[in-house]
Structure 1
Amino acid sequence: MPETKDQKINRSQIAKKFVLNFTLLAIAMFSLAVIALLWFAHQQNVHQVNHSQKDAQHAINSDIEKLSTALKDYAFWDDAYQYAGRSPVDLDWAFNRDNIGPSLYANYSLEGVFILGDNMQTRYAIVNGAISHIKADEFISGDIKKLYAEALNQGKDEKTAHGFFLVKGAPAIVYAALIKPNKLAAGETLEKLSILIFVDVLDPAKLHKIGQDFELQDLHADVFDNQQATPPFIILKSDFGKPFYLLWTTSKPGDDLLKVVLPLFLITATIFGLFIFLLLRRAVLVASVLDESQAALASSEERFRAVAEAASDWIWETDRDGIILYLSERFKTVVQVPTEFWIGKKFTDLIRYSAADFKDKMLEDTHNGPDRKILSGEYIDGLGRSRYCNISVRPVFLKNKIKGYRGTVSDITAEIEAKARIEHMSQHDSLTGLANRNYLHSYLIEKLNGNTSCSPPMYVLSLDLDRFKPVNDTLGHSAGDAVLCEVASRLNKCIRENDLVARLGGDEFLIVTQNLLEQQDIANFCSRICAAVNNIFVIGEHEISLGVSIGVVFVSDNATTVEELIRLADIALYEAKSAGRNNWQVYAEEMNERVQQKRKLETDLRAAIRYQEFFLEFQPRFQIDDNTLCGAEALIRWNHPVNGRLEPDSFIPIAEQTGLIVPLSDWVLDKACKTALTWPETMFVSINLSPSEFERGDIVSRIGAALTNSGLAPHRLELEITESVLLDDAAKVLDIMSSLKKIGVRLSMDDFGTGYSSLSYLRTFPFDGIKIDKSFIADFVEYDTSHAIIESIVGLGRALSMTVTAEGVENVNQLNQLHKVKCDQAQGYFLGRPMSERQFFDSCITDRQ
């Protein structure tokens, strides 16, 4: 009976389990042996430590017993009581005749011998075998009263007392006993007897001798500090005195055993382990070889099953005529049609593909071998949806002849649709869905390449929305986006089928249109676009009114590039904006010339700033009531190296558009402030600020720097601001003007009455003065409308505590009328034309005289 797949796999598993278990068993046996050996060695070491501790205790006890016996012989002696137990001690008997004398040091190595009276006073002292006057409590560190009391207590039974003390920092055993006769005299008590004290210092020499006698290596003493010492040791202590350790080193027979046995044991274990490893490795290899063929077969079957049930692939097989013989189970999931429905039917009915490509692929196969070939196809799934797929094809050979075909089908619909979406996104604007710049560029290239003299006329229209920026600023970008989408929808309704609308970005659009044969046709087309954009936009609760400026360029034979077309359309767009917005302009060659002139002037202007080709003139301003000179307005002039003297209106607009107004204004501020320093201190200088300067956040610091660098007092500088500045961002402008007022400069509203003059502006913004526009002064005669207007303005200025200045005074009659309405100041050609710095300085001198 053949083995099953599981049985064949178990053979290898059993071998591996056996190897693992045997290895673990061997490791466990060797581990137990090592543990037993270590335990035995440890027990040997412990036994040796315990034995040495008993020897050390025995040595100390022997020494204590010997000296206690000697002390009894000397203390419980009638002669000792007679000659030393009473005061005074008979020194001749005690020391000279050596009854209690030097022999105690020579025979017993007693470093100290003392006799103490009943009042603890030292009566007799021998130190190191010589008479000494040192007291016992000075020689012995510690409380010896307890020792004295214990000696009295033990004296009743003719016993001695001993304790452990420090003598000069060294451990010592101190012995004490009563000097007692065999029989006390009548009325005499033990408390009246003297005490004999022996001091045995355990110095290194004594400890070394004890260690030699009892085989205690490196025997030494140490003060007891309540911390556990490392064995071997014993603790010498009594109820009184100072306890201390007695420590030594001892041999370790267990470690010696390990040094000999353990290397031999490890070598044996290593050799045995290597032998077992080789033996078991051979067994595993044999089992693995037996499993290889079975594992390869199982892997092949699993691989086939995985391929057959892949996420989006299904397997097919046909005969040589294309009749379907087999479809994998995955077919039902992907195509959502039962496999039985298609078995026996033609493969070409299931999937549409190029029969010619199929034939070519199969011809290649017959020459190049059974390689897989890929075809593109399309089929309809069970839900009626069109699906795209890749078909892999491989011929099936039998005796070198094709008997059929086999392969897989991969559904690539998601990939195809994703590519289409990406392609659309790359060519269209994500917000409006219109063609974007990339699509426009390709479209125009195609049109230009196909454009001939016989082609219908084609126009490119560049569009820019008017008044769109306030929508974003006031209503937010979401409202702005909604407006742009609605604009795109309206533009699409204006064009014809073959026209194109593209969004270039922001509020810029571009239209390409054909078949407008007459000039009137393009005019009607542009008019239709303007009307569509002019219609009110309703965004939420807001009604929005916009305009559109259009630049039109005719695509002629001379227009060869897309960039050139768009550039020319933008030039026409700029002309439309300059003409008042919400209109269209058709490109003409003179427009391009004006643009080139503007660019040339911009280049010259940059050079002029670099080389300081400008100069200032000063137009005087007078107090009307007394006709005195009070200041001047600084006016910039350009000494152009080619065109000569240029007035501000020829280059200031370009400076504002290009951002050059800031360095130009800085020069004017610096020059005017430094010039004003040469005038009388009562005079001020007035400078015009451009509206574009308020769009930059550094205007306050720039004016502060000009005042600091020049040293001009802030109140002598007047800044003229037009009403248009207040319309764009009133809150920001108010903040800037408030900061300027903190510096101390004067602020004046220039050209008052020509724009959206409002009383609220004068009340809200911190103006110091008003300048009436010269257009009112030109028609100023008594009792006419201008007279009433000027009189009202002057009255308004006085009510708001503002200085009112009239510009453009050309004759004495105008000056007289201004005097009648009590206008404060005036300037104009009648009073003084703009003059050079030197001329104005001379005028200042003349005016003062």
Structure 2
Amino acid sequence: MSSKQAAELALSVFATSDAGLAMIAPDDRVLMTNPAFERLFGGAPPSELLARLQIASWGEAAHQEPVLTVNGRTLRIKVMALPPGYFVNCEDITDQFDRSAREAKLARTDRLTELGNRQLLRERLQALLHDSGPGRDSHALLTIDLDRFKAVNDALGRNIGDALLCLVARRIRATVSDQDVIARLYGDQFGIIQSNRPQPASAIALAQRLRDLLSRPYMLEGQLIEVSARVGIAPLTQGTTDADQVIKNADLALNRAKQDRAADYCIFESSMDQTMRARRALETDLRRALALREFALVYQPQFDLQSGRVTGLEALLRWNSPTRSPVSPMEFIPLAEETGMISLIGEWVLRTACRDAAAWPDDITVAVNVSAVQFANRALSTTVLSALADSGLDPRRLELEITESVMLDARGTALGVLQRLRATGVRVSLDDFGTGYSSLGYLRSFPFDKIKIDQSFVRGTSEDPGNRAIVRAIASLGQNLGMATVAEGVETTEHMERISTAGCTHVQGYLISRPLPPEQVIAFLAVSKTAPPTSVSDRSKVA
């Protein structure tokens, strides 16, 4: 190919290229352009052209690749220094740029609610935290969690649950300003970055508005749905530099708000982090206790007022930690339920109680508490029957104590498990009766063997007519339904007299006996056959 032919080929490629090409002299004169370049820049004067190309120093231009928008197109500008001047290549990357922008937006968007997601919220937080100016204190993160969402989702299905989340997202949008950032973090938890407002007063006001608006009823497919919201607030203080720490702080505040049922919101305090560290340490020790078998059972007798004798004992869990000393069940059982460890612990309690009770007289029953978390496991009935078979205990001597939280299972699986177990002879009692909201409905849906009256009604002062009326009403209800009524927390003879007069059939408490270790139960039962109830406790001390 001759040099003339090569030159003609180069000019042909130059003219037909889709990229905008130009030759520019060192003195800024435009020497040559192709049609694509003309379409982009429309014959602009050299001074305007150079300004629009955003190239300040042509001597360094070969090392730059600026991106700019011209006539709605996104261009990447490449400049190459040549002997006669500079060669400019304007590459059209609109489609690539738009695709990247869409992908970036999708990566930061919750597809269900079309709000931002956790990644977006974290990036915006980090950007605000990089600002060390005085305006830092005008920002706050709020995290929002819906009460009862899981129950709604389980009862009405995921489609209704998703639709509810979309309505919640819409209400949140209507509550915040355009400069605030909203994100769905996960599940039914949302986050808001409130910006350029006096803090924490503005965050508190927003939390109260959210609580009011999100708690109003929702109508979905003919269903009237009610949920409520809790809010955690974490102001962006000058000492905080990590977005993850701010999110953690807001979550800690949210957890505190959820624990305090009377609170709409909670503001983060440093002591909450210390509390969370202590909780994690307790969780670690609890897992170790399960592996090292640091748990033990004690048994508290239940006295039958009609026969005048002890007819059963309730198994109570104790944790004798070598590093913590005895840990209160009120402290570790809620944690075990929250972490799911209660299933393994509960199975150990059930099997141990059945094995211990198998050595007692045949007319003595054993009561075992079963949590709602255990009922979520479909294998519970199999576990109960296995524990009975392994121990040889008559099913009629086992009593399962449940609270109304078990009956809140919207799918009805708990009720089905109870019915199957009761068909085998296992007894079922409703614990802490009178402290919930729907217990009367549960008495209609399931034939309990016993109703346990919460000790708060038993230990009330004798001058409180309300407590006396409640105890009498529950005792009468039990009698009419053919259910035994057990009054818990009986500690004095005055308690005993009031309970007996009210018509309760059984009592349980320190007046009868403190909880007994397994090795003392048989001796105690032998003593209790001949002892009046007011003296059983004294005799049990030497059993």
* TM-score band, normalised by shorter chain: 0.7 to 0.9
Q: Which amino acid aligns with 2:413?
A: K
Alpha-carbon distance in 2 for matches of 1:753, 1:423: 54
Alpha-carbon contact 2:129-2:136 (below 8 Å) kept:
no
| Residue of 141, 161, 177 corresponding to 1:460 | 141
The alignment status of 1:431 with 2:112, answered yes or no, reads yes
| Residue of 366, 374, 382 corresponding to 1:685 | 366
1:632 to partner: Cα distance: 0.8
Q: Which amino acid aligns with 1:719?
A: L
| Residue of 43, 53, 57 corresponding to 1:354 | 53
Change (3 A) 1:432 1:680: same
Change (3 A) 1:356 1:603: closer
Q: Which amino acid aligns with 1:793?
A: I
| Residue of 632, 639, 643 corresponding to 2:320 | 639
Give the aligned partner of residue 588 of structure 1: 269
| Residue of 183, 193, 198 corresponding to 1:512 | 193
The alignment status of 1:709 with 2:394, answered yes or no, reads no
Residues 405-426 of structure 1 show CA distances to partners (whole Å, capped at 9, x for unaligned) of: 9999765322222122112222
Change (3 A) 1:378 1:522: closer
1:490 to partner: Cα distance: 3.5
Alpha-carbon contact 1:324-1:347 (below 8 Å) kept:
no
Alignment TM-score, normalising by the size of structure 1: 0.54
The alignment status of 1:751 with 2:437, answered yes or no, reads no
Mapping 1:88-237, distance limit 5 Å: none
Alpha-carbon distance in 1 for matches of 2:155, 2:183: 26
Give the aligned partner of residue 296 of structure 2: 615
1:731 to partner: Cα distance: 0.8
Q: Which amino acid aligns with 1:354?
A: L
Change (3 A) 1:325 1:447: closer
| Residue of 829, 841, 844 corresponding to 2:522 | 841
Alpha-carbon distance in 1 for matches of 2:87, 2:201: 68
1:827 to partner: Cα distance: 2.0
Q: Which amino acid aligns with 2:456?
A: S
Mapping 1:662-701, distance limit 5 Å: 662-701=343-382
Give the aligned partner of residue 739 of structure 1: 420
Give the aligned partner of residue 457 of structure 2: 776
The alignment status of 1:827 with 2:508, answered yes or no, reads yes
Alpha-carbon distance in 1 for matches of 2:214, 2:511: 50
SS of 2:408's partner is helix
The alignment status of 1:558 with 2:257, answered yes or no, reads no
Alpha-carbon contact 1:463-1:510 (below 8 Å) kept:
yes
Alpha-carbon distance in 2 for matches of 1:802, 1:668: 26
SS of 1:674's partner is helix
Change (3 A) 1:793 1:420: same
Residues 15-47 of structure 1 show CA distances to partners (whole Å, capped at 9, x for unaligned) of: xxxxxxxxxxxxxxxxxxxxxxxxxxxxxxxxx
Give the aligned partner of residue 599 of structure 1: 280
Residues 540-595 of structure 1 show CA distances to partners (whole Å, capped at 9, x for unaligned) of: 54443332222222333332322222222211111111111661111222222222
Change (3 A) 1:582 1:543: farther
Mapping 1:539-554, distance limit 5 Å: 539-554=220-235
Change (3 A) 1:686 1:495: same
Of the structure 1 ranges 655-664 and 639-648, higher mean CA displacement relative to structure 2 is found in: 639-648
SS of 1:598's partner is helix
Give the aligned partner of residue 73 of structure 2: 387
Alpha-carbon contact 1:351-1:379 (below 8 Å) kept:
no
Residues 248-299 of structure 1 show CA distances to partners (whole Å, capped at 9, x for unaligned) of: xxxxxxxxxxxxxxxxxxxxxxxxxxxxxxxxxxxxxxxxxxxxx9xxx9xx
Give the aligned partner of residue 112 of structure 1: none
Q: Which amino acid aligns with 2:451?
A: I
Alpha-carbon distance in 2 for matches of 1:326, 1:557: 55
Alpha-carbon distance in 2 for matches of 1:610, 1:502: 40
The alignment status of 1:723 with 2:404, answered yes or no, reads yes
How many residues are paired up?
520
Alpha-carbon distance in 2 for matches of 1:395, 1:787: 98
Alpha-carbon contact 1:466-1:581 (below 8 Å) kept:
no
Alpha-carbon distance in 1 for matches of 2:437, 2:446: 14
Residues 384-423 of structure 1 show CA distances to partners (whole Å, capped at 9, x for unaligned) of: xx23356899999xxx989xx9999765322222122112
Q: Which amino acid aligns with 1:632?
A: L
Residues 56-108 of structure 1 show CA distances to partners (whole Å, capped at 9, x for unaligned) of: xxxxxxxxxxxxxxxxxxxxxxxxxxxxxxxxxxxxxxxxxxxxxxxxxxxxx
| Residue of 481, 488, 506 corresponding to 2:162 | 481
Higher RCO (C-alpha under 8 Å, 6+ residues apart):
2
Alpha-carbon distance in 2 for matches of 1:613, 1:722: 26
Alpha-carbon contact 1:353-1:376 (below 8 Å) kept:
no
SS of 1:728's partner is coil
Give the aligned partner of residue 810 of structure 1: 491
1:725 to partner: Cα distance: 1.3
SS of 1:560's partner is coil
Alpha-carbon contact 1:624-1:826 (below 8 Å) kept:
yes
Alpha-carbon contact 1:781-1:787 (below 8 Å) kept:
yes
Alignment TM-score, normalising by the size of structure 2: 0.81
| Residue of 100, 106, 115 corresponding to 1:419 | 100
Residues 734-789 of structure 1 show CA distances to partners (whole Å, capped at 9, x for unaligned) of: 11112222443111111222212444422322422222223333459799565554
Alpha-carbon contact 1:351-1:377 (below 8 Å) kept:
no
SS of 1:633's partner is strand
Change (3 A) 1:756 1:497: closer
SS of 2:412's partner is helix
Alpha-carbon distance in 2 for matches of 1:523, 1:500: 17
Residues 140-181 of structure 1 show CA distances to partners (whole Å, capped at 9, x for unaligned) of: xxxxxxxxxxxxxxxxxxxxxxxxxxxxxxxxxxxxxxxxxx
Give the aligned partner of residue 569 of structure 1: 250
Give the aligned partner of residue 125 of structure 2: 444
1:653 to partner: Cα distance: 1.1
Alpha-carbon distance in 2 for matches of 1:835, 1:325: 99
Residues 714-738 of structure 1 show CA distances to partners (whole Å, capped at 9, x for unaligned) of: 1111110111211133511111112
1:697 to partner: Cα distance: 1.9
Alpha-carbon contact 1:572-1:585 (below 8 Å) kept:
yes
Alpha-carbon contact 1:622-1:630 (below 8 Å) kept:
yes
Alpha-carbon distance in 2 for matches of 1:625, 1:604: 45
Give the aligned partner of residue 137 of structure 1: none
- Structure 1 residue ranges without an equivalent (≥5): 1-292, 365-372, 381-385
Alpha-carbon contact 2:137-2:235 (below 8 Å) kept:
no
Of the structure 1 ranges 794-803 and 435-444, higher mean CA displacement relative to structure 2 is found in: 794-803
Alpha-carbon contact 2:14-2:21 (below 8 Å) kept:
no
1:461 to partner: Cα distance: 2.3
Q: Which amino acid aligns with 1:587?
A: F
Change (3 A) 1:483 1:647: same
Alpha-carbon contact 2:233-2:268 (below 8 Å) kept:
yes
Alpha-carbon contact 1:316-1:406 (below 8 Å) kept:
yes
Q: Percent identity?
A: 33
Change (3 A) 1:761 1:471: closer
Change (3 A) 1:348 1:708: farther
